[in-house]
Amino acid sequence: MIDRLHILMVEDNAGDADLIRDLLPADGPDGVEIKCVPRLTAALECVRSDIFNIILLDLGLPDSNGLDSVRAMRHGAPALPIVVLTGNQDEQIGLSAIKEGAQDYLVKGQFRKNQLMRALRYAVERKGAEKSLLRMVHEWQRTFDSMSEAVWIIDKNNTVLRSNKAAGLYFRMPCAEMAGKHCWEIVHGTTQPIPECPILRAKKSLQHERMELQIGEDWFDITVDPILDMDGQFDGAVHIATKITERKIAEEEHDKLESQLRQSQKMESIGRLAGGIAHDFNNMLSIINGYSELILGELPTSDPNYFRIQEIGKAGERSADLTRQLLAFARKQVISTKVLNINDNVDGMLKMLSRILGEDVELSWNPGPSLWKVKMDSSQIDQLLANLLVNARDAISGNGKVTIETGRANVDKAFCKTHPDSVPGKYILLSVSDNGCGIDKEKLQHIFEPFFTTKKIGEGTGLGLSTVFGIVKQNKGFINVHSEPGKGTTFKIYLPRHEPEYAESDEESEPSKIFRGTGTVLVVEDEESLLLIVKILIERLGYTVLSTSSPFEAIKIAEKYKEEIHLLMTDVIMPGISGSDLQKRISSLRPGIKCLFMSGYAADIISHNGILDEGVHFLQKPFTEEDLSAKLREAICPPKKS
């Protein structure tokens, strides 16, 4: 409801002013208060010092005239409604005044009491409605501009009617300049829409449409929601572009980590399979190689079968090498660690490595100064370099160059963020580079998988790089590869620096020979054929042998045998009970008995990550008579520590 009217009348004609006063009620519910001033300047002073509901403005004043009066009053009192008074011949000016912001106009001498009062009240109501509308528009615009998404209101001709601040920021164009442009001019900088444009699709489907779009380095989620007219036809759209760059980066990182996890799980599964195969295969090879060695020792070299048996033995040795590669990949290879300077190992291998590469390929060796030491099996260094150089040689057609380098590497958290397999710490870096054919991006993802090879059929086993991968992982290191087709390949192997608790010295290795001995050995092996050849070989070395294929029978033998048993030699994996548990049971019956484990792969029950626990004696299958003799001597009469 409108409050009591408080009118400011700006009229220099006293007679006209009195006439208007007479037409307006002074008392009662519709009564009004009127203040009259003859000049515009006085009116502007009044609106600054008094409160009015409405201004009744004559267009012919001594100090102002016509529309200038309306403009001045609008500027001086923008919140107040204005009703102008015109003469008989000034009706057109009254209409122009409305265009300038007046709410209404009245022609002097042509209105009655009720008409005047109604015009004044309607003017106040219209001004109130105008204020409410402007407030709503302002709130809508403020909400529109506060949105973090770029938003456009599109008409049915695909041109922008309105855009918010985010649109201007994202696409570096003032909102005023966007009005009237097609959205593809703003987003894509083209004069024609792109074929997959969601606006064109929304025009046809009359439904919500979306797409993801990369613009420069940023990604956007683009949506279009059509606006339909009363007949259900396309009449425009709300077009929203949401920046999703961070989300896309996170998704890519998630996909990358998920892929690495799947790859890791696949490699682990293949590793378990490889370990199981190697276990059974090594049992068979132990029999083949054992009997070959036994027969060769009994035959003169002139015997026509000597060469044939020798070839069987060589085939067995090559097969044993293959299972060792499988075990290295599966990280189930038993290793004997020593503190090493990798530079010394590479120096000692240079002649052999040069022979691997051949005369056409130059070998460059750049040892890093003051290199930290590592603790690992020296034979594994040989395996790493041999496998990498074989691959480098095969990648080079004609003349080429392979470079081996060593150095120190301090791996920090920043490095680890871009190399997920790495762990912060100090590492020895072993790098092997070639200038060969390189590897494309797709194949590079699979090079460490067993049996994957880029070579022709029959030219490679596909186990070389998987062996490298297994050795590096077994020694708690990691490996990076950079390769480009036509530009060569670089393998960078990071091996953790060894930080000893006390000074360690390398042990001198004894020259190869057969060691004979005495004592009683209890042999437990569930593979009957292998048990037989092991018994024969141990007896040839001078020992007394008690043998059984059953671990439970071995316990009975340990209980009932009257003489001393010096050594338990047992397989690690057996049905019913493990070799480790068997050793504990028999040790409780015969305290002080020594134990020698044998297996086709390193089981966790006797080792951690393939590295033997201190004091544990282990014989890797398949083994030679020389290996067997050395391990028996070591287990029964271990060397005294100085």
| Residues 527 and 455 grouped into a single domain | no
The answer as to whether 510 is a domain residue is: no
Q: How far apart are CA 572 and CA 599, in angstroms?
A: 6
Please, which residues have CB within 8 angstroms of residue 21's CB and are 6 or more apart in sequence?
Answer: 34, 36
Please, which residues have CB within 8 angstroms of residue 387's CB and are 6 or more apart in sequence?
Answer: 464, 465, 467, 468
Q: Pick 620 or 551 by higher pLDDT.
A: 551
Which is nearest to 409 in space by CA: 419, 400, 396, 401? 419
Query: CATH code at 300?
Result: 1.10.287.130
Q: Which residue has the tokens 């572009």?
A: 241
- Structure confidence at residue 603 (pLDDT): 46
Q: How far apart are CA 607 and CA 626, in angstroms?
A: 23
The answer as to whether 253 is a domain residue is: no
Long-range pairs for 418-422 at CB < 8 Å and ≥24 separation?
A: 419/478, 419/480, 420/256, 420/257, 420/260, 421/260, 421/478, 421/479, 422/478, 422/494
Question: How many other CB atoms are found less than 10 A from the CB of residue 446?
Answer: 14
Phi–psi pair at 84, nearest 5 degrees: -95, 150
Query: CATH code at 195?
Result: 3.30.450.20
Question: 3-state DSSP call for residue 7?
Answer: strand
- Structure confidence at residue 287 (pLDDT): 84
The answer as to whether 260 is a domain residue is: no
Where are the strands (E) in 143-189, listed by range? 150-155, 160-163
Question: 3-state DSSP call for residue 339?
Answer: strand
pLDDT in tens, 390-449: 888 888 888 889 999 999 888 888 788 777 778 889 999 999 999 888 888 777 777 777
Q: Are 519 and 449 in contact (CB under 8 A)?
A: no
Q: How far apart are CA 466 and CA 266, in angstroms?
A: 13
Q: Which amino acid, residue 282? A: N
The answer as to whether 460 is a domain residue is: yes
- Structure confidence at residue 46 (pLDDT): 92
Beta strand 60-61 with 218-228 is unpaired
- Structure confidence at residue 504 (pLDDT): 47
- Structure confidence at residue 457 (pLDDT): 44
| Residues 446 and 472 grouped into a single domain | yes
User: Domain total for the chain?
Assistant: 5
| Residues 477 and 417 grouped into a single domain | yes
Query: By CB neighbour count within 10 A (0-12 exposed, 13-18 middle, 19+ buried), where does 97 fall?
Result: buried
Q: Pick 74 or 176 by higher pLDDT.
A: 74
Q: How far apart are CA 563 and CA 11, in angstroms?
A: 140
Question: How far apart, in Å, are the Cα atoms of 455 and each of 308, 413, 626?
Answer: 32, 37, 37
- Structure confidence at residue 591 (pLDDT): 92
Domain membership of residue 342 as a residue range = 338-496
Query: CATH code at 112?
Result: 3.40.50.2300
The answer as to whether 1 is a domain residue is: no
Query: CATH code at 484?
Result: 3.30.565.10
Q: How far apart are CA 276 and CA 236, in angstroms?
A: 67
Q: Are 86 and 93 in contact (CB under 8 A)?
A: yes
Q: Which residue has the tokens 């397999």?
A: 421
| Residues 137 and 276 grouped into a single domain | no
Phi–psi pair at 486, nearest 5 degrees: 85, -5
Which is nearest to 67 in space by CA: 103, 42, 33, 101? 101
| Residues 385 and 484 grouped into a single domain | yes
Please list the helix, strand and coil fractions of the chain in percent, rounded to the nearest 5, in that order.
45, 25, 35
Residue-averaged pLDDT of the chain: 82
Q: How far apart are CA 255 and CA 90, in angstroms?
A: 77
User: 507: pLDDT confidence band, cut at 50, 70 and 90?
Assistant: very low
Residue 611, pLDDT above cutoff 60:
no
The answer as to whether 356 is a domain residue is: yes
Residue 322, pLDDT above cutoff 70:
no
Residue 298, pLDDT above cutoff 50:
yes
| DSSP letter assigned to residue 613 | P
| Residues 344 and 456 grouped into a single domain | yes
Phi–psi pair at 238, nearest 5 degrees: -100, 120
Q: Are 34 and 7 in contact (CB under 8 A)?
A: yes
Domain boundary among 282, 297, 330: 330
Mean pLDDT of the region 126-148: 81
Please, which residues have CB within 8 angstroms of residue 497's CB and are 6 or more apart in sequence?
Answer: 372, 373, 374, 425, 426, 427, 428
DSSP H stretches of helix in 206-244? none
The answer as to whether 248 is a domain residue is: no
Q: Treating both helix axes as pointing N-terminal to C-terminal, what angle do 67-76 and 40-49 enclose, rounded to 10 degrees?
A: 20
Q: Which amino acid, residue 472? A: V
- Residue 524's H or E segment, with its range, is strand 520-524
- Structure confidence at residue 273 (pLDDT): 67
| Residues 233 and 315 grouped into a single domain | no
Q: Which amino acid, residue 174? A: P
pLDDT in tens, 237-257: 888 888 888 888 888 778 777
Residue 36, pLDDT above cutoff 90:
yes
Task: State percent of the chain over pLDDT 90.
Answer: 20
Domain boundary among 330, 346, 367: 330
| Residues 553 and 613 grouped into a single domain | yes
Please, which residues have CB within 8 angstroms of residue 354's CB and are 6 or more apart in sequence?
Answer: 363
Beta strand 104-107 with 82-86 is parallel
| Residues 358 and 429 grouped into a single domain | yes
DSSP H stretches of helix in 493-640? 528-540, 551-560, 579-589, 625-636
- Structure confidence at residue 596 (pLDDT): 93
Q: How far apart are CA 567 and CA 595, in angstroms?
A: 5
Q: Are 48 and 75 in contact (CB under 8 A)?
A: no
pLDDT in tens, 458-505: 445 456 687 788 888 888 899 988 888 888 899 999 999 987 654 444
Which pair of structure tokens corresponds to residue 125? 């109501």
Number of separate helices (H) and strands (E) present in the chain: 20, 26
Phi–psi pair at 381, nearest 5 degrees: -60, -45
| Residues 608 and 549 grouped into a single domain | yes
The answer as to whether 252 is a domain residue is: no
- Structure confidence at residue 567 (pLDDT): 94
Q: Which residue has the tokens 């091996």?
A: 495
- Residue 275's H or E segment, with its range, is helix 245-298
Please, which residues have CB within 8 angstroms of residue 558's CB and are 6 or more apart in sequence?
Answer: 522, 565, 568, 586, 589, 590, 593
Domain boundary among 281, 300, 330: 330
| Residues 365 and 489 grouped into a single domain | yes
Please, which residues have CB within 8 angstroms of residue 141's CB and are 6 or more apart in sequence?
Answer: none
| Residues 133 and 49 grouped into a single domain | yes
Which pair of structure tokens corresponds to residue 226? 């059509």
Q: How far apart are CA 87 and CA 620, in angstroms?
A: 120
Phi–psi pair at 82, nearest 5 degrees: -120, 130
